[in-house]
Structure 1
Amino acid sequence: MLAVFEKAIGNPPEELQLPSVGLDCKKTREEISEMLRLLWPKSTFYHLSNGNLMTLSHEAQSPLHQRSMFVTDDIFCIFMGTLVNICELRRHYGSSRQATEAMLLVDAYKALRDRAPYPPDQVIKDLQGKFAFILFDAKSSTLFVARDGEGSVELKWGMAGDGSLVLSDDPDTIQMTCGKSSASFPPGCIFTNGNGLVSIDHPLHKVKAIAREDEDGNICGVMFQVDLFTRLPSIPRTGSAANWADVAAAAEAD
């Protein structure tokens, strides 16, 4: 599985490029697309606007963490893993009994997106299981990425040579496309191209990048973790941003 979004859409954290500053081994979106066609000829490719790309392959997938994809109404969702409460969620969101995890997530996203005053990223709080997913709403250019709290399913992210955001469950693919400008997507977090990286359990605390250095003092990697000593500033917001702040405050209080 791999997804590539131009910098204006993906809005990747700048810290992802720290280990590769000054290096030119990273690839552009066009080079990544061509490389994948050679490596994964049987993959399903979804070419989005402006060179953005989502692709799915069942090659070498884990029998416990299978990949699925669903596309409808210009909403694209790749899901990896399983949900143990999928039957309950199907009833809650009015999905069919045959709905896969990817189909369910799209149903949940659409329901919460259109049902004020709840923001669409509230869908994460109801998911129980081992999972990682990427959801992209092409109409609104909205990107959601999430991983369960245990980090049960592999998910990497990185920055391509042209600043694009790259996401994959294959470490080798991330290495080939992003060089050292990559890291594990932090467990228990959700990333949106509007609000950035947020912890599901600690939404009012900053998720910060921590650089790792080798023996010579060179940055060799970056990891992201919640900083419980840094509380995000509270600022007046309106619309869905205000709704999210209210929900986050309630969750933190609990």
Structure 2
Amino acid sequence: MSTPEPDAEREPSASEILGAALGGAARRAGIDPDADVSTGRMVWGVIGGWRGIVESVLPLLAFIVTYTVSSNLILALILSVGSAAIFTIIRLVMKSPPVAALSGLVAAVVAAGLPLFTGRAADQFVVGFITNIAYGTAFLVSAAVRWPLIGVVVGFLMGEGVSWRTDPRKRRTFFWLSVAWALLFLARLGVQLPFYFSGDVATLGTVKIVMGIPFFAVLLATTWIVARRLYPRESDAGDARRS
């Protein structure tokens, strides 16, 4: 008589593989539910502190200012990519993981490629538009098919896997959080595209900076706080019972 295959040998589903990968990426980015840190500190760590802000903003700011002042597209692109290259060298010298160190430089080079080819400065922002479309669509579709990405990530971060789908409160909360993230990415498109089509590089770049890290940080903090309410830590629960 044959024995049934143990559950441990069951092949993981696509959602479990995706969730584990996203959860691992979130932890590597600094989102650790086991760490006893404040919301502000967690967000600050995810964006990389002052260095992360400077690395994110300075190459774009160099492009905007240089092009606005000189109208020299080649010079603006050189300064933008050059700034990213300097930050990459600093990261490598400080022994950062090569992928993390090179990602900013690769992004800057790719973004510079299209305007270098077309001669249109506003095309520097096309890669960002594509990224926003991809992320916005992914979050929106995941919510529509009842597999909200926020739930998939948080579930694996909290060690629950996809069991949250049996809890109506969690399903509803993760649905709306995923919709909120989708709206963030799509709102960036809605606000920035008119300036792109009009060729207003200065305003387009300014709006991109304003709607970048600040908006991301606020929504990340909100998501963290809401998720914490869904998964209170034992120490928090004990403190609440004693009070």
TM tier, smaller: under 0.3
Query: When the two structures are superposed, what TM-score results if normalisation uses the length of structure 1?
Result: 0.23
Query: When the two structures are superposed, what TM-score results if normalisation uses the length of structure 2?
Result: 0.24
Larger radius of gyration: 2
